[in-house]
Amino acid sequence: MSNNPDSYAAYAFTEKNGKLQKITVPWKDPEQREIVVKVLACGVCGSDHFVQEQAIPTGLPRVPGHEIIGTVVAIHPTETVYKLGDRVGSGWHGGHCFECGMCLEGNFSQCEKQTVNGIFRDGGYAEYVNLRRESLCYVPEDLDPAEAAPLLCAGITAFNSIRNMDGISPGDLVAVQGVGGIGHLAIQYAKAMGYKAVAISSSDSKRDLAGRLGASHYIDSSKETPAQALQALGGAKLVVCAAPNEKVISEVLMGLSPNATLLIVALQAASISIPIFPLVKNRISVRGWAVGNVKDTQDCIAFSKQTGIKCLVERFPLEKAQEAYEHCHSAKFRAVIVP
């Protein structure tokens, strides 16, 4: 470990509602079951604002970032799985306790004591990061780290949620509300899984893009009612709500066919109003979904590589971390920090 630096640069939120500040982090050798990674890319996710706003009390200062891909540069003497030079990634799930009821069931991503990268432990807006071993997955070296990094949160959220929904079959209509960071991936996954993908957005600006991503139909909610448009297509078997718009999410339920599912993956603080009569009459299910475990992440990366699914990204150097963070909230797709 002598070749590693005594300290390194990172960008952290140091006060509530403040901007990212450059800090110097002292090098820390990995503890048992811990790996140190030299960051190659870290995606900027909308949920990073939880740190800035302290909507989740993370403690400050805190280095955000939970879409991390890097090279292993330091391991504990007891490490038996990972070796120096391995290309690895780690997402939202930063580690689990192995002991709670969820862990004993093998449901590690819902561990009652789970830690979260960039939330409860420092994340990837940095040159290096210490990661829990059980949070890691291998990342193929022929994948562009910047394009692959968002798969560890946005990608797995879209992929894993869709593949775990019951009652849909190839050829069924799957609508994606929001053609943004998660939505543009959800359209591609729905198409690759054999469903008829429909894109819903609030303007006509993403129509051509949605078509290139694989959407067979495009609904501009500023010009037509999504629910009526979906019913005109026969009704959606699944609607993936990938943009935080509580009004549209509430209304789009009316576009579902009987025995269908409204799937909410957009993380937001607002509540939504659900119309009870169609919910009961049509036996509609309302579900939420967040990310997955390491095996799910490996599956997402492998499926994306096999089917040619690409995350559309914009790259920023580490010294422009604040710009990348601000860009995330206005960008069409994923901002990625490349140290």
pLDDT at 230 over 80: yes
In the chain, where do the E strands start and end? Answer: 7-13, 20-26, 34-44, 67-75, 87-90, 93-95, 115-116, 128-132, 136-138, 173-177, 196-201, 217-220, 236-241, 256-264, 285-288, 313-316, 334-337
- Distance between CA atoms of 248 and 293, rounded to whole angstroms? 30
What is the predicted pLDDT for the residue at 1?
A: 47
What is the predicted pLDDT for the residue at 268?
A: 66
pLDDT at 331 over 70: no
**Residues pairing with 262 in the sheet:** 239, 286
pLDDT at 329 over 70: no
Condensed to tens digits (0 to 9), the pLDDT of residues 9-67 reads 999 999 999 999 999 999 999 999 999 999 999 999 988 999 999 988 899 999 999 99
Domains and CATH numbers, the chain: 7-152+292-337 (3.90.180.10), 156-288 (3.40.50.720)
Q: Are strands 196-201 and 128-132 parallel, antiparallel or unpaired?
A: unpaired
Q: Calculate mean pLDDT across residues 235-242.
A: 95
* Contact (Cβ atoms closer than 8 angstroms) between residue 15 and residue 60: yes
Condensed to tens digits (0 to 9), the pLDDT of residues 158-205 reads 999 999 998 899 999 999 999 988 999 999 999 999 999 999 998 888
Q: Calculate mean pLDDT across residues 230-255.
A: 89
What is the predicted pLDDT for the residue at 241?
A: 92
Provide the pLDDT confidence category of residue 332 given band limits of 50, 70 and 90.
Answer: low
pTM for the model stands at 0.91
Q: What does the DSSP 8-state code read for residue 117?
A: B
* Contact (Cβ atoms closer than 8 angstroms) between residue 29 and residue 73: no
Helix then strand then coil, % of the chain, to nearest 5? 30, 30, 40
Cβ count within 10 A of residue 38: 17
Condensed to tens digits (0 to 9), the pLDDT of residues 250-302 reads 888 899 999 999 999 987 656 788 888 888 999 999 998 988 889 999 999 99
Closest CA to 34 of 3, 71, 79: 79
Q: Calculate mean pLDDT across residues 214-242.
A: 94
Least confident of 226-230, 277-281, 330-334: 330-334
Query: pLDDT above 70 covers what percent of the chain?
Result: 97
* Contact (Cβ atoms closer than 8 angstroms) between residue 134 and residue 294: yes
How far, in Å, are 65, 68, 123, 124 from residue 116 at the CA level?
Answer: 10, 12, 9, 12
How far, in Å, are 171, 172, 248, 257, 334 from residue 176 at the CA level?
Answer: 15, 13, 12, 15, 17
- Distance between CA atoms of 164 and 110, rounded to whole angstroms? 15
Residue count (the chain): 339
Q: Calculate mean pLDDT across residues 303-318.
A: 95
